[in-house]
């Protein structure tokens, strides 16, 4: 233990060793916050507090994983494994699954992602016949989310004068109704959205003191990472759990609070002392990450904000270089400047590509840098954007999983009822929904016995619905016995997803197959590793409950080394890089035009900039463009006010970034060459996709599941089309103007003209009985008869 403590500085050591009451650790950027948390856990364990009595909460799975592995290094894997460590959402969902019955759910509840939530809200808005131009789904969603995070129930909402007045002023008086229906629907479907995980944990503890007492007893010591980002719901759960013993340690930095748009309340950290008057406060002020110059620059910036906890972050590292500021004529040139600088630094410093990061305010900004880096053959990876689990094909499969685990899941139902297409269209789904509402039952119950509820569909459709029910049911039968991998494979094969993917030989289709393959591989891996940890059978529910809470941050792969990283500043929190480029420092972009209206928004933007700068170890460069292509047009822009917030002495204006460069020379890029580049790069990207292929794939196995779930005519046609080397029309090449053809549906016709290139040749055909039609030869089904 002595040895352990020697690796800490004075304040770190004090913070670690204080375990008899509440403590707040104010951890400046780069001051060893994770170190304190992990050593503190090790210290608690050494004081004979059993691991299963320690709860550590983080915001990201990544942070939790990293903490666990670092604790493992100190105390061994066997002990670390027993810790209650995870994100708020994952720990709470685990609790809620065990206690589900107490709050009127069952333990197999499924989790809505934000797209599901928005869809449901959209549906409700339609059902209430409200104008979605006024009741914008995204906006309503965030209003509801805020209410939940503040623990305002639908009933309380409808009774709150304040809320109602606000909504009245905002011309959306019916939000209270939407909110109520939304909650009911989620509940009826045995589903929870992200906010519910926090909300219902609170309800559980509030309404069931015996349950609360159990967890208070279990969690003898509670640690919270990134405390400045907690919202009211999170704050209150922690408070309730620690209510008896007060043994809670929260770590955070008010200067890095950047999630208020998600309900994070900076007051939680500012008021910690008044909540726990006996609390000790520790300040970690020595920054081990960055050069003095970077720390000083960041300090001078954040000084412009009011109302923060007094602290004096300092560095004893080298003074370091000044922060470079570069201006570009266009966003395109900005990309070139950054790419060149990366190349230069890599040579002069012998740096690895992975030592570089490009940070931007909005995801849309990544495009230009992708192009400029690719042009120089600099490998890169983009963090964020569409995560693996948000791809359509993956979400579709996951929807099957959800439906199998929890057949009441309404959004999952709507997603897959006609995927792969089985002749159940919007009209039918509409009828099913109406019937379900009428009888106050789930969609699932309706399709179990369509006729029983007088569903107004013909016998064929009724059968299709029933068949779908049987299909899902057949998977569900396996649930208690099969592993996640077994059942997932079965689903992919027998649902027709595999068949459909196999049919599609386009590059996009191939990449979809690959993703599906990867998903199955991932599930396999998941099962294996859980087995290794000593679990007996890893079922689909286990996989699903984990995967629903993964975000794109969590899907990073090992092979991504040796690449320049690009991400939003938000995503960069907690990370560090030798060389940091912060780009797009322009008014209305950073600070965002949205945030400028209120001073608090502006301060948060400034904290965001603070976070960005403090990611840098050695070198930091700030860039802005004088014109930028946004929303389909080029706008001129002004340098960000934040550039003036930093003391001049830490900055170095940079004009000749590129070898021999004098600004104007590069304007050529921003004009003529631009569109060319865009087009060229797009073509390259297509080619790239085409070369991607997998050798082993379930999609290439010759034997396909014979037992087709839906032996309908459509299926037959599909199977015919599935012959990959047998195009619909096998004599495109021979066709000429004047030829007579016989089309499957339009009958006999004569080709009057041909145009377009080989890949997408279009024929104008005059049919005898069907008029003149344009046919894409690639797709049209006909034969040449003369």
Partner DNA sequence: AATCCACTTGTTTTT
Partner DNA sequence: CAAGTGGATT
Angle at 564 between CA 563 and CA 566, to 5 degrees: 125
- Tell me if 722 is assigned to a ligand binding site: no
Active site residue 615: yes
CB of 195 to DNA, least distance (A): 7
Site string for DNA, 538-577 (x = CB under 7 A): -------------xxx-------------xx-xx------
- Alpha carbon 210 to its chain centroid, in Å, reads 36
**By three-state DSSP, how is residue 498 classified?**
helix
Please give the residues from 97 up to 136 whose contact with DNA meets the rule CB under 7 A.
Answer: 114, 122, 133
Inter-residue contact 63 to 574 (CB < 8 Å): yes
Q: Residues 269, 9: contact at Cβ < 8 Å?
A: no
Decide: 640 and 629 in contact? Cβ < 8 Å.
no
Q: Which of 35, 40, 68, 89 binds DNA (CB under 7 A)?
A: 89
- Give yes or no for residue 332 binding DNA (CB under 7 A): no
Spatial CA neighbour of 258 closest among 359, 166, 383, 334: 359
Binding part of the chain for DNA, among 31-39, 249-257, 334-342, 416-424 by CB under 7 A, reads 416-424
If binding is defined by CB under 7 A, does position 716 make contact with DNA?
no
191-230 residues in contact with DNA (CB under 7 A) are 194
710 binds DNA (CB under 7 A): no
Toward DNA, which CB reaches closer, 277 or 758? Answer: 758
Q: How far is the CB of 589 from DNA (least distance, A)?
A: 8
Binding window for DNA (CB under 7 A); candidates: 245-253, 257-265, 540-548, 665-673: 257-265
Q: For residues 484 and 478, give the distance between their C-alpha atoms in angstroms, rounded to a whole number.
A: 10
Please report, for residues 330, 406, 767, the alpha-carbon distance to residue 394 in angstroms, rounded to integers and kept in the order given: 37, 18, 42
Closest among 468, 430, 434 to 449, alpha carbons compared:
468
**Catalytic residue among 34, 343, 503, 555, which?**
34
Pairing of strands 762-767, 771-776: antiparallel
Minimum Å gap between C-beta 425 and DNA is 3
Token digits of residue 313: 């972050």
- Does 28 belong to an annotated binding site? yes
Taking the complex as a whole, how short is the minimal distance between the CB of residue 682 and DNA, in angstroms? Answer: 8
| 321 near DNA (CB under 7 A) | no
Q: Is 34 a catalytic residue?
A: yes
Residues 87, 123, 291, 327: which binds DNA (CB under 7 A)?
A: 87
Active site residue 20: no
Which of 144, 657 has the CB closer to DNA?
A: 144
Alpha-carbon gap, residue 97 to 530, rounded angstroms: 18
> Binding to DNA (CB under 7 A): which residues in 582-621?
592, 594-595, 601
Which 433-472 residues touch DNA, going by CB under 7 A?
Answer: 461
Under the criterion CB under 7 A, does residue 727 sit at the interface with DNA? no
Which one from 99, 113, 193, 226 is the annotated catalytic residue?
226
Given its phi and psi angles, is residue 574 left (phi above 0), alpha (psi -120 to 50 degrees) or beta?
A: left
**Cis before 591 (ω within 30):** yes
Question: From CA 370, how far away is CA 379, in angstroms rounded?
Answer: 9
Burial class (CB in 10 A: 0-12, 13-18, 19+), 239: middle
Strand boundaries in 73-195, DSSP class E: 84-87, 110-111, 191-192
The verdict on 74 binding DNA (CB under 7 A) reads no
Please tell me which residue in 99, 113, 116, 225 is annotated as part of the active site.
225
Closest CA to 115 of 107, 127, 123: 123
Residue 31 is assigned to a ligand binding site: yes
Residues forming beta bridges with residue 633, ordered by sequence position: 630
Of the candidate residues 106, 421, 506, 655, the single one contacting DNA (CB under 7 A): 421
Task: Please state, in angstroms and rounded to a whole number, the distance separating the CA atoms of residues 572 and 41.
Answer: 25
Q: Give the integer Cα–Cα distance in Å for 555 and 115.
A: 19
Residue number, 258 or 297, with CB nearest to DNA: 258
Residue with Cβ nearer DNA (123 or 287): 123
- Taking residues 631 to 670 in sequence order and writing x for each that binds DNA by CB under 7 A, - otherwise, the string is xx--------------------------------------
Contact 712, 423 (CB under 8 A): yes
> Residue 138 or residue 438: which is nearer to DNA going by CB?
138
CA distance 527 to 696: 20
User: Taking CB under 7 A as the rule, does residue 361 contact DNA?
Assistant: yes
**Distance between CA atoms of residues 449 and 468, nearest Å:** 11
Q: Is 300 annotated as a binding residue?
A: no
Say how many residues touch DNA, by CB under 7 A: 49
Active site residue 256: yes
33 assigned binding-site residue = yes
Cβ atoms 193, 161 nearer than 8 A: no
Among 190, 428, 513, 618, binds DNA (CB under 7 A): 428
Nearer to DNA, 610 or 650 (CB): 610
For DNA, give the closer residue by CB, 136 or 273: 136
- The reply to whether 27 sits in an annotated binding site is yes
DSSP state, residue 549: T
- φ, ψ of residue 222 to 5 degrees: the values are -120, 130
- Binding residue for DNA (CB under 7 A) from 60, 191, 228, 579? 60
Q: Which of 241, 424, 471, 520 binds DNA (CB under 7 A)?
A: 424
Rounded to the nearest 5°, which phi and psi values hold at 608? -60, -45
Work out the angle at residue 443's Cα, subtended by the Cα atoms of residues 440 and 448, and round it to the nearest 5 degrees: 105
Q: Does 281 bind DNA (CB under 7 A)?
A: no
Residue 49 CB, shortest distance to DNA, in Å, is 26
- Which residues contact DNA by CB under 7 A? 59-60, 87-89, 114, 122, 133, 138, 194, 258, 261-262, 361-364, 384, 418, 421-428, 461, 551-553, 567-568, 570-571, 592, 594-595, 601, 630-632, 675, 678, 745-746, 773-774, 779
List, as residue ranges, the binding site for ATP.
27-34
Catalytically annotated residues: 33-34, 225-226, 256, 615
């Amino acid at each position: 233990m002595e040895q352990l403590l020697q690796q800490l500085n004075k304040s770190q050591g004090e913070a670690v060793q204080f375990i008899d009451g509440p403590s707040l650790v104010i951890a400046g950027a780069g001051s060893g916050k994770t170190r304190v948390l992990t050593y503190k856990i090790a210290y608690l364990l050494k004081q004979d507090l059993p691991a299963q009595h320690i709860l550590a909460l983080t915001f990201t799975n990544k942070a939790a994983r990293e903490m666990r592995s670092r604790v493992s290094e100190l105390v061994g894997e066997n002990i670390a494994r027993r810790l209650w460590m995870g994100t708020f959402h994952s720990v709470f969902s685990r609790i809620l699954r065990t206690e589900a019955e107490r709050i009127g759910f069952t333990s197999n509840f499924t989790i809505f992602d934000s797209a599901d939530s928005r869809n449901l809200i959209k549906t409700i808005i339609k059902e209430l016949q409200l104008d979605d131009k006024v009741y914008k789904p995204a906006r309503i969603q965030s209003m509801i989310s805020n209410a939940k995070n503040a623990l305002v129930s639908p009933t309380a909402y409808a009774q709150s004068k304040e809320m109602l007045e606000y909504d009245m002023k905002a011309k959306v008086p019916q939000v209270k109704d939407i909110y109520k229906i939304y909650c009911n629907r989620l509940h009826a479907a045995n589903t929870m959205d992200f906010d519910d995980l926090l909300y219902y944990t609170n309800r559980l503890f509030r309404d069931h003191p015996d349950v609360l007492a159990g967890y208070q007893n279990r969690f003898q010591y509670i640690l919270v990472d990134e405390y400045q980002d907690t919202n009211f719901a999170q704050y209150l759960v922690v408070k309730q759990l620690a209510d008896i013993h007060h043994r809670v340690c929260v770590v955070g930095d008010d200067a890095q609070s950047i999630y208020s748009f998600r309900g994070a309340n900076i007051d939680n950290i500012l008021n910690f002392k008044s909540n726990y008057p006996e609390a000790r406060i520790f300040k970690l002020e020595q920054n081990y990450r960055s050069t003095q110059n970077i720390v000083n620059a960041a300090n001078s910036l954040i000084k412009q904000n009011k109302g923060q906890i007094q602290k004096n972050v300092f560095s004893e590292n080298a003074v370091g270089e000044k922060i470079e500021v570069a201006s570009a004529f266009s966003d395109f040139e900005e990309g070139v400047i950054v790419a060149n600088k990366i190349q230069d630094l890599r040579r002069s410093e012998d740096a690895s590509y992975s030592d570089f990061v490009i940070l931007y305010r909005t995801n849309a900004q990544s495009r230009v840098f992708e192009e400029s880096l690719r042009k120089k053959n600099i490998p890169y990876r983009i963090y964020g954007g569409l995560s693996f689990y948000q791809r359509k094909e993956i979400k579709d499969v996951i929807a099957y999983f959800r439906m199998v685990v929890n057949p009441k899941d309404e959004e999952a139902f709507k997603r897959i009822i006609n995927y792969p297409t089985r002749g159940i269209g919007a009209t039918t789904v509409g009828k099913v929904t109406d019937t379900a509402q009428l009888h106050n039952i789930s969609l699932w119950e309706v399709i179990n016995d369509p006729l029983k509820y007088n569903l107004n569909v013909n016998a064929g459709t009724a059968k299709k619905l029933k068949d779908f029910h049987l299909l899902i049911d057949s998977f569900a039968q396996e649930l208690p016995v099969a592993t996640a991998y077994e059942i997932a494979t079965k689903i992919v094969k027998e649902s027709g997803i595999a068949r459909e993917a196999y049919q599609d030989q386009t590059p996009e289709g191939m990449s979809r197959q690959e993703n599906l393959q990867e998903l199955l591989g991932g599930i396999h891996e998941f099962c294996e590793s859980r087995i290794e940890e000593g679990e007996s059978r890893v079922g689909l529910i286990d996989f699903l409950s984990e995967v629903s809470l993964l975000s794109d941050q969590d899907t990073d792969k090992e092979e991504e080394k040796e690449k320049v990283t690009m991400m939003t500043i938000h995503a960069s929190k907690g990370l560090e890089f030798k060389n940091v480029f912060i780009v797009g420092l322009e008014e209305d972009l950073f600070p965002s035009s949205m945030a400028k209206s209120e001073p608090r928004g502006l301060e948060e933007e400034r904290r965001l900039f603070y976070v960005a700068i403090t990611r840098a170890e050695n070198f930091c460069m700030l860039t802005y463009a004088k014109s930028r292509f946004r929303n389909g047009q080029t706008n001129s822009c002004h340098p960000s006010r934040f550039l003036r917030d930093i003391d001049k002495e830490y900055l170095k204006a940079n004009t000749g970034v590129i070898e021999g460069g004098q600004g104007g020379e590069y304007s050529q890029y921003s004009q003529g060459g631009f569109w060319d580049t865009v087009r060229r790069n797009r073509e390259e990207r297509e080619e790239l996709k085409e070369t991607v292929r997998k050798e082993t794939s379930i999609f290439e196995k010759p034997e396909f599941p014979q037992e087709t779930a839906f032996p309908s005519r459509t299926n037959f046609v599909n199977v015919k089309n599935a012959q990959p080397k047998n195009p619909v029309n096998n004599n495109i090449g021979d066709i000429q103007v004047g030829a007579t053809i016989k089309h499957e549906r339009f009958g006999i016709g004569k080709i009057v003209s041909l145009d377009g290139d080989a890949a997408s040749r279009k024929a104008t055909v005059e049919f005898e009985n069907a008029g003149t039609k344009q046919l894409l030869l690639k797709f049209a089904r006909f034969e040449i008869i003369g």
